[in-house]
Amino acid sequence: MIIAGCGALNLDLIFEITDIDIVARLGIGLEPGRECVMDHQDATDLLTVLKKEAKLLAKSGGGSAANTLCALSRMGHRCFFIGTVGEDNEGEFLLDSMKGVDCSLVNRSGKSSLCIVVIDRLSQDRALAVVPGSLAIDPDEPKTSTILENCRLFHLSSLAQEDGPDLQGHLTALCPSSCIVSFDPGEVYAAKGYKKIKKILLRTWLLSASDVEFEQIFGKKSVMEVISKGLFGSKIQETMEIPFDFFKKMPPPILAKKSGARGALLASTTSIYSCPARDVEKIVDNTGAGDAFDAGLIHAIFSNKGPKKALEDAVSVAAFSIMSPGRTWIDHLDEVIIHHQRH
Ligand SMILES: Nc1ncnc2c1ncn2[C@@H]1O[C@H](COP(=O)(O)OP(=O)(O)OP(=O)(O)O)[C@@H](O)[C@H]1O
Ligand SMILES: [Mg+2]
């Protein structure tokens, strides 16, 4: 069964600084606790300051859906990625970092996207800047439509470029109606608001969003209001035969709402399950916990687990991921997950 993914492929550069206000004072929108979008010119200025004032902790491939697909590939699933990397050295590095994921649908064009994370050494507060590179995804490319026509699940996360949501809306329309669409909009898409991402939302079976993102997209509406009014998932065909226990027990659309150290919940029109976060001895790097959560949830669904167990698994994989820096947790996944038999 094929899993396809589409989202940003970023080069993550993680810096540690003794005083995060140094970057806040640059006046380029970088603030502790927030994500912002920045152009390559501002990013060059920022990197010049960081090279002098901060320590480079890690350089790794990143991007929400890219992280999730790398983990799913390591869990034994056949994964394809649709995206863009630059024609630069960073692009080469990014393709190498997608170990196990088929990147024949990743086009090379212009400059690579960057994601610069600055962590305050004392408070551990972090500021995050997304620097969009070129976008060269062509939904009309026959190879892309062939993969989407045959995929069982299509997982989407944000593209930083302006036309990202339209393009991804177009891609979801190429999937057969039986294809499970899962969508983790992240802060970048959530900040655009409901209308801009509506086309993807209406096709979404499984929406994975943090508390803040949920409110950015749906305002003050409650979880039940959002689900019962069909604000996402209304394009799912109800009569369809659903092969997994998860969806038999909990018909889509399903919201997976992530609440950081408080845990997460799953909600549909029929039921709600919640799960507290696992205790973690030492948090090394909590970025990407949501991506690990998504991989844990999707793997559990494909392993035919019901919603309660699937949520517990997702929360366990998320907790596991924050105990190692960057994506390195993926290399030790065998400690928490049973490998999937490819078919
Ligand atoms: N401090 C923590 N301790 C234990 N588990 C955590 C902690 N922070 C996050 N998690 C787990 O990870 C899940 C996802 O984290 P979070 O709610 O931060 O999602 P997110 O905002 O999408 O994350 P990101 O976008 O940084 O990947 C949580 O629901 C929780 O289960
Ligand atoms: Mg997230």
Question: Is ligand 1 within 6 A of the CB of residue 63?
Answer: no
φ and ψ of 41, to 5 deg: -65, -50
Question: Is ligand 1 within 6 A of the CB of residue 261?
Answer: yes
- Which residue ranges make up each domain of the chain? 2-7+65-106+135-335
Q: What is the pTM of this model?
A: 0.93
Rounded to whole angstroms, how far apart are CA atoms 26 and 28?
Answer: 6
3-state secondary structure of 107: strand
Cα 303 from chain centroid (whole Å): 21
Distance 184 CA to ligand 2 centre (A): 7
Q: Which residues have CB under 8 Å from 100's CB, separation 6+? A: 70, 73, 74, 79
Distance 158 CA to ligand 2 centre (A): 10
- Which atom of ligand 1 approaches the CA of 287 most closely? 26
Rg of the chain taking only CA atoms, in angstroms: 19
**Domain 2-7+65-106+135-335 = CATH 3.40.1190.20:** yes
Rounded to whole angstroms, how far apart are CA atoms 268 and 273?
Answer: 9
Question: Is ligand 1 within 6 A of the CB of residue 260?
Answer: yes
Give me 282's structure tokens: 């030492």
Distance 289 CA to ligand 1 centre (A): 5
Residue-by-residue pLDDT tens, the chain, 343 positions: 899 999 999 999 999 999 888 888 888 888 888 888 899 999 999 999 999 999 998 899 999 999 999 999 999 999 999 999 999 999 999 999 998 999 999 999 999 999 999 989 988 888 989 899 999 999 999 999 999 999 999 999 999 899 999 999 999 999 999 999 999 999 999 999 999 999 999 999 999 999 999 999 999 999 999 999 999 999 988 767 788 999 999 999 999 999 999 999 999 999 999 999 999 999 988 888 999 999 999 999 999 999 999 999 999 999 999 998 888 899 888 878 766 666 5
